Amino acid sequence: MANYFVGDVQGCFDELELVLNKVGFNPSIDCLWAVGDLIARGQGSLQTLQYFKSLQGSAKVVLGNHDLHLLGVHGKIKRANPKDNLGELLASPDIGALVDWLRLQPLYQEYPEQNILMTHAGIPPLWDLSTLRNKADIVAEALQQPDYLTALIAKMYTNSVAHYSDDLSELDKKIYTINALTRMRYLYPDGRLDFDCKLPIEQCDNPQLSPWFTHHAILHPEHTLVFGHWAAIMGEVNSPALQALDTGCCWGEHLTLWHLESDQKITQNKLKES
């Protein structure tokens, strides 16, 4: 059995197929872990969701910000961004079943035997494992409720909840959890989320900001943290206990697959569009 962790696919299904073929991925014995943002930007969002759904227990997925946004678009809360290439997916007769499948996916995954934690964007440095489990599970439960669109999705589109506190309302705690686990890149010294800067670390000119993974953390480096979301850093982190797997395939770079057992990275360049 092999465990493969893949970065943000973002609808780049052809590249996903090619990189999995390179390693001989066999869903009957192997497991494919995905850091979220399965859809958007690439031309194959429909095929990507159909594939991961078909893998059943051979895939472990977390939700990314684009996946959550799809729930809002499908639910008529938001309009689709034309750049996201969601037309085929939204028009598919499978869209209802695929959205229902997405709603069942968590915001974090664990591989306790190897002390591995996977989220889309990272984990707030001051959160311990019980906090991560509790806060993320509360959001997952909310996504499975009949009123998930009005009670959560319609209200998550805000930058106003940037710092966690026990004094937050229950709704704001959910929104912070979504913001932190699916949108986080830079933090202020007090741990407050910054939602504006997406630049590579060496290009960030705000001296108050630093990458979330450079802050003193409870879970790292005792746990290996696997994440995506931040294509601008192209996987460049300074700890062997961090695996940053978004390498910008949808932006013309490449898709990255991390083979856990050999600690090797396998890549597939973005194909030229015909």
- Ranges of beta strands (E only) in 57-203 are 59-61, 109-111, 116-118, 186-187
User: How does pLDDT run across 11-58, given as a tens digit for each residue?
Assistant: 999 999 999 999 999 999 999 999 999 999 999 999 999 999 999 999
How buried is 125 (Cβ within 10 angstroms: 0-12 exposed, 13-18 middle, 19+ buried)?
middle
Q: Which fold has domain 3-269?
A: Purple Acid Phosphatase; chain A, domain 2 (3.60.21)
pLDDT tens by residue, 253-262: 999 999 999 9
Under the banding of pLDDT at 50, 70 and 90, the label for residue 272 is confident
Q: Is the dihedral of CA 266, 181, 117, 74 positive or negative?
A: negative
- pLDDT for 256 equals 98
Residue pLDDT, tens place only, 105-143: 999 999 999 999 999 999 999 999 999 999 999 999 999
CA-based angle 144:39:223, to the nearest 5? 70
Above 80 in pLDDT, residue 189?
Answer: yes
Q: What is the mean pLDDT of residues 193-202?
A: 97
First vs last C-alpha separation in the chain:
36
Query: What are the φ/ψ torsions at residue 61 (nearest 5 degrees)?
Result: -120, 145
| Spatial distance between the Cα atoms of 17 and 12, rounded to a whole number of angstroms | 9
**Is the pLDDT confidence value at 274 over 70?**
no
Q: What is the pLDDT of residues 55-69, one digit of tens each?
A: 999 999 999 999 999
138: closest CA among 159, 110, 108, 163?
Answer: 108
Helix 170-183 crosses helix 129-143 at what angle (to 10 degrees)? 110
Going through the chain in order, the beta strands assigned E by DSSP cover 3-6, 31-34, 59-61, 109-111, 116-118, 186-187, 210-211, 224-227, 242-244, 254-259, 264-269
Neighbours of 145 (CB within 10 A): 12
d(CA 56, CA 105): 11
Taking Cα atoms as reference points, which of 23, 2, 10, 1 lies closest to residue 266?
A: 23
Q: Record the pTM.
A: 0.97
